[in-house]
A and B are shown apart, each in its own frame.
Chain A
């Protein structure tokens, strides 16, 4: 049973992540009065890309070649080291939240380098913007977890999830602040409105898409897949850190299946929330984004003062 749970934990994020991307796009399409593509379209895209030949820039170095693999690897590891459906894997030594934050930073670092590597003007600007945002996100990212870890007396994400789930309801005021801060960070890290437009075709407004402009074929597939993984990882963190009900501590088949069901439902709700948000607000001007990120940081700092 242990092996089965581990396998599920490992495979859940990469298997489900394109689905939630499809759902997000579907909801957005409905908001725009379009029928929209099938929710399984992201899977087909990946399938298609993996079957295509690749065009590589002559200026690309090994950084450009290795980056998609590394970024994908990191999302797989992160997917396995955060609470998804069970609190049972808490002896996981990679679940320290600083490890999670810095692994995310490692993938951003290589993505930004890959953006510069091919020497196109777009890639460089994408990298510059991405690193600017990433640098300013880090404070809010660490602090939102830190606030929760003071509640749980542990920096381990599994312990945090189980500690938050048994909190009395009135202690949730600071957690609401932290949640707002986390949502801001999530939108920034996963390249959604108001930080970035994931569907843009205008190079001048791109952040994430500008960096991966030169990728094609299997490497593009890996990068797209990794981005979907990252989105699901943040949704899962949001769902399980702040609404940790339904995580199972048991290992029997029934509780695992029901916990998985609850997980999917929670993440779907959050996806809908992001979709609605994305359909109802405009992208911010780049030099207003840092206000938002500092707000996230300060909200979490206030929450820490309230908690302690």
Chain B
């Protein structure tokens, strides 16, 4: 069966199905349930087709290119799916498959409220855009599909348009993404100027013609442009507001997959096309990784909006991916190809892992939100008794994102650690210190992420309910549970079979220009992963098996030996007063000590308003209002001044724009004259 259809056919089949899904949803928009089934159903079929295509390329080496030439060679539609693209097609299809199944159940609460045809249309177009982005092979075509992806996701962000906050979040996203696109355009234009083409393979072949200045500029512009999409700090400000605003299954796709297209282009452009020759490029990426991972998790700790919390964790994980990618580029510039390949495997592995557990966590959050109708985790509590399965899946996601064994996050962080450890052994003291910083940030990030997810899981699912909404919560429906269960299983499987997965990813890395002959980086024997220099080895299946076997043994032994002891159910010790839900720890107080410790970076703010009964004497307060928060340093110190500057500059430009037609004609005449002189 698999042999009958080629990778190319199933890739285009996926695109076709998505197009049918998009148009069909609009057609059936009148009937909510039909639009829902049509939009998500075709997305499911398309994802299966995409998965087949990706697997065929990754495992059966069926890479393909496809070009429709036009009279202007630069405007041709050009696609190329090599193993790196296929790896990202795999991630997109995997998450899209489960998100769409989840969506069938999730969007039911939009019935009679919002137009589901529109949702289905943009959802499918969004998927089309992402599939094209990771396969486009021509700069111009790339920009078009990049824009399709961005605009479709914008419309998804503002889909719930009856809430004003969502519109605001959408506008911020729209502005930021277009600033990013502008920088990407500049990067491509510079490449065009230097190499005379927009076709990626021609650019790659002629990149030698480009001067160092051009290359550096391309690096900076692309870093800002794609970095904005990836959500690196300080270009992340759209992310924590846009991701929560979208419907949950779209948040899962945006956080799990869309921001990874930025990572994809980093690899494509910096590693393959520019072949990472400059040391400072890698160093910059590494430092951005350090900052994004640490600050991302710290901001997540301060959040009590569950989806914003998860969005900040996306920034953290992008940071971890960039630690791997930055190491790869540093090794590349020092001509240490094997280490570079190892780092790329780490970065790509973490990309895959983050897609699975972040989608899982968003879906868990979405299930909770659809039952409690609030995103504020202070109003949850005790949900484990009302939604036991969702709780289990969310717990698995939390363990995975906190890099705890035996789940997949553990292995990719372990691998990232190993690449950084290799970097520390570089003799150059400056590079060495940078890698030491990176190792430290990764270590602290892991610990802080664990703290954050103890908070998120504990305050949401454990203890007693803090609001009436929780008491009415029911376990979510079959489709939603199925998707979460599948993703939870995926995090476990990717963690256990880490050896085989690394091999497949190494295949994708070997497919990149300059890495063809790199091999012998690590051995995998029976899923035991060993670095070939003998520095480190780990067996994830072993950890899993031993953990489960010993746990069962001990449980059994204790059970048998203490079978006569009774278990009495009593009340939690209450010091003689009645235990109220307010006495439980809240998310704010849980994270408060960490916020205080890192007050230098977080700048916590505290507003105290007291209203007195006797305004003159100020002895007896009537009411107190304490507001804890953190100062948005980026807005205050970066975006606000930038905005003021822009407005001032626009003011100057206004002087030229008088609004009288004659003057504009005079301008045109003047320009013409100048051009004539310049020409002659």
Residues on A facing B (Cβ under 8 Å): 50-59, 61-63, 69-70, 72-74, 76-77, 93-94, 96, 98-99, 102-103, 105-106, 108-109, 112-113, 116-121, 123-125, 127-129, 131-132, 134-139, 141-143, 146, 149-150, 153-156, 213-214, 217-218, 222, 286-287, 290, 297, 301, 304-305, 308
Contact = CB atoms under 8 A, between A and B. Distances in A.
B432 interface: yes
* Best-buried of B391, B462, B592, B596 by chain A (most CB within 10 Å): B462
A220 to B, nearest CB: 12
B359 interface: no
A72 B554 contact: yes
Contacts of B517: none
Contacts of B566: 53-54
Contact of A146 (B385, B405, B421, B461): B421
Contacts of A146: 421, 424, 439
Given A55-B570, A105-B447, 5 more contacts: A63-B384, A99-B543, A103-B543, A109-B399, A128-B590
Contact of B436 (A53, A287, A290, A301): A301
Nearest to B542: A93
B636 interface: no
Contact of A56 (B384, B432, B536, B570): B570
Given A136-B447, A217-B565, A304 B454 contact: no
B561 A77 contact: no
9 contacts: A57-B571, A61-B462, A96-B414, A99-B538, A113-B458, A119-B581, A131-B454, A153-B534, A286-B593
* Best-buried of B391, B444, B454, B584 by chain A (most CB within 10 Å): B454
B454 A138 contact: no
Interface in B545-563: 546-547, 550-551, 554-555, 558, 561-562
Interface string B112-136: 0000000000000000000000000
Contacts of B543: 94, 99, 103
Across chains A and B, which 5 residue pairs bring their CB atoms closest together, nearest first? A124-B585, A119-B463, A135-B447, A138-B447, A116-B458
Contact of A117 (B453, B458, B591): B458
Nearest to A112: B454
B458 A287 contact: no
B382 interface: yes
A78 to B, nearest CB: 11
A171 to B, nearest CB: 17
Nearest to A293: B597
B21 to A, nearest CB: 40
Nearest to B417: A98
Contacts of A70: 551
Contacts of A51: 565
Nearest to A286: B593
A76 B550 contact: yes
Contacts of A118: 463, 572
B432 A305 contact: yes
A interface SS class = helix
Contact of A156 (B432, B463, B537, B561): B537
Given A76-B550, A96-B537, A146-B439, A132 B451 contact: yes
A131 B543 CA distance: 23
Contacts of B574: 120
Interface of B: 381-382, 384-385, 391, 395, 399, 402-405, 410, 414, 417, 421, 424-425, 429, 432-433, 436, 439-440, 443-444, 446-448, 450-451, 453-455, 457-459, 461-464, 528, 534-539, 542-543, 546-547, 550-551, 554-555, 558, 561-562, 565-574, 579, 581, 583-585, 589-594, 596-597
Contact of B572 (A57, A109, A127, A138): A57
A54 B551 CA distance: 21
A55 B591 CA distance: 30
Contact of A106 (B405, B424, B581): B405
A301 B433 CA distance: 9
B464 to A, nearest CB: 5
B437 to A, nearest CB: 9
Contacts of A134: 447, 450-451
Given A59-B382, A93-B528, A142-B443, A135 B594 contact: yes
Contact of B593 (A116, A117, A128, A149): A128
A52 B384 contact: no
A119 B537 CA distance: 41
A171 B551 CA distance: 42
B570 A125 contact: no
A120 B572 CA distance: 7
Given A69-B558, A125-B585, A138 B446 contact: yes
A84 B579 CA distance: 46
A73 B551 contact: yes
B573 A120 contact: yes
A148 to B, nearest CB: 12
Contacts of A128: 455, 585, 589-593
A75 to B, nearest CB: 10
Contacts of B403: 102, 105
Contacts of A149: 421, 535
A59 B440 contact: no
A56 B567 contact: yes
A128 B432 CA distance: 34
B562 A218 contact: yes
A109 B463 contact: no
Contacts of A94: 539, 542-543, 546
Nearest to B548: A73
A12 B631 CA distance: 52
* Best-buried of B391, B528, B543, B572 by chain A (most CB within 10 Å): B572
B594 A93 contact: no
Contacts of B547: 73-74, 77
A58 B569 contact: yes
B231 to A, nearest CB: 22
A287 B405 contact: no
B354 to A, nearest CB: 17
A119 B572 contact: yes
A17 B590 CA distance: 32
Given A58-B570, A69-B554, A73-B550, A154 B425 contact: no
Contacts of B451: 131-132, 134-135
B572 to A, nearest CB: 4
B465 to A, nearest CB: 10
B565 A53 contact: yes
A142 B581 CA distance: 38
Given A61-B384, A77-B547, A94-B546, A142 B570 contact: no
A149 B558 CA distance: 38
Contacts of B536: 96, 98, 154-156
Given A63-B384, A96-B536, A105-B447, A113 B440 contact: no
Nearest to B404: A106
Given A55-B568, A102-B405, A112-B458, A139 B447 contact: yes
A150 B436 CA distance: 13
A57 B464 CA distance: 11
A241 to B, nearest CB: 16
B414 A98 contact: yes
A19 B66 CA distance: 72
A90 to B, nearest CB: 11
A69 to B, nearest CB: 5
Contacts of B571: 57-58
A132 B597 contact: yes
A129 B471 CA distance: 29
Contact of A113 (B457, B542, B555): B457
Contacts of A214: 572-573
A63 B447 contact: no
A103 B405 contact: yes
A158 B458 CA distance: 37
B535 A137 contact: no
A61 B450 CA distance: 20
A72 B440 CA distance: 29
A109 B382 contact: no
B551 A143 contact: no
